[in-house]
Amino acid sequence: MTPPGNPYLVGLRLIGRKVVVVGGGSVAQRRLPLLIASGADVQVITRTATRAVEATAMENRIALSLRDYRDGDLAGAWYAIAATDDAQVNSAVVAEADRRRIFCVRADMAVEGSAVTPATFDYAGLSVGVLAGGEHRRSAAIRSAIREALQQGLINSESFESTDVVHGGVALVGGGPGDPELVTVRGRRLLAQADVVVADRLAPPELLAELAPHVEVIDAAKIPYGRAMAQDAINAVMIERARAGRFVVRLKGGDPFVFARGYEEVLACADAGIPVTVVPGVTSAIAVPALAGVPVTHRATNHEFVVVSGHIAPGHPESLVNWNALAAMSGTIVLLMAVERIELFAEALLQGGRPADTPVLVVQHGSTTAEHTLRATLADASEKIRSEGIRPPAIIVIGAVAALGI
């Protein structure tokens, strides 16, 4: 049998065109962000889906059909991905795609598909893809080196594994506020070397799309008031994979040590004798207002700012927040995880003496293409948030700086 020729690299313009993804597991989850970013009409067909895939469907970014694949599902498609854990189903998808002359990626057996997914990244208007004849780890490493060369003017073609990668260890990486370009260079480098990534929903999904196919992605998505993997289970899975000699990256939104339970995970690893390192991230508490044109501090306006978790309501027995003290201060208050209880927080601040006309800024999906901002006052913030249907993730900035802007 003649070996197949080298794949022909090409860019597909998929805006408004039907793309079918059969499968809703971690492989499909990693492919969705770039398909969505391309503007494609993405249709996912799967019996079961990860929490992140379900959340993407709930946000109306994809069409999700929870059922078995059927012959004919590719009708009208321009591109397809077979990404189930059933080889027979994947084979059937490829067969239909071949019959209809639709390019199709087969995730479990790349050579059987008519298309191959490269290791990719976007930078300053460039889209870069690398194929290395099925050597996925090599593709990801070269991709990362090219990206770092663009970012820093450096490239190391001899060794792509960082000295801070510890096989049998864990790295807590802050993914930043949402824009994948706001993750640190070190964080991105460690992701490129990961064997396992345990990811939260608020971690930039584009970072998962860049992972090599061999990387195991464990969905620890924390959908507010929905399904969530218990913290003990997250700790256990990190420790289990690390003890098996794998390098585990725990990818979190924002900064691992800002209301992210990161230190609990550090302690769990330490108690288990697992080496652990922390890579700080850009916290949304500061970055999201900044990107919206609002500084959390400004000369002659305020000399302090406080970041407060809205996870527990004022007056709750477990609350550690002195709301009267917050109301009495003149500086900036940044509330995280607070939109669902904004009425309670606003009432506590008003009762504590904060003026009703105190400016308020609300930013939903900050730093992403879905960003939505709302300006209000402490008196009407609750009503405006409800009327505009703002849901998590969102931050709330209270204070004189909230009236500023670029």
| Region for residue 176 given its phi and psi (left: phi exceeds 0; alpha: psi -120 to 50; beta: otherwise) | left
Tell whether the torsion through CA atoms of 175, 180, 182 and 186 is positive or negative. Answer: positive
Pairing of strands 41-46, 63-66: parallel
Catalytic residue among 200, 219, 252, 255: 200
Is-catalytic flag, 200?
yes
Backbone φ and ψ of 250, nearest 5°: -95, 105
In whole angstroms, how far apart are CA 120 and each of 129, 131, 145? 4, 9, 12
Is-catalytic flag, 222?
yes
Return the structure tokens found at 148.
């770092």
In whole angstroms, how far apart are CA 174 and each of 190, 205, 268, 277, 347? 11, 13, 18, 11, 33
The sheet carrying 394-398 orders its strands as: 305-309, 332-336, 394-398, 359-364, 372-377
Return the structure tokens found at 301.
């306006």
Pairing of strands 394-398, 248-252: unpaired
Q: How far apart are CA 16 and CA 122, in angstroms?
A: 21
Establish whether the linkage from the previous residue to 393 is cis, with ω within 30° of 0.
yes
β-pair partners for 375: 361
Catalytic residue among 108, 222, 252, 255: 222
Q: How far apart are CA 334 and CA 361, in angstroms?
A: 9
Q: Are 69 and 44 in contact, with CB atoms under 8 Å apart?
A: no
Backbone φ and ψ of 264, nearest 5°: -60, -40
Active site residues: 200, 222
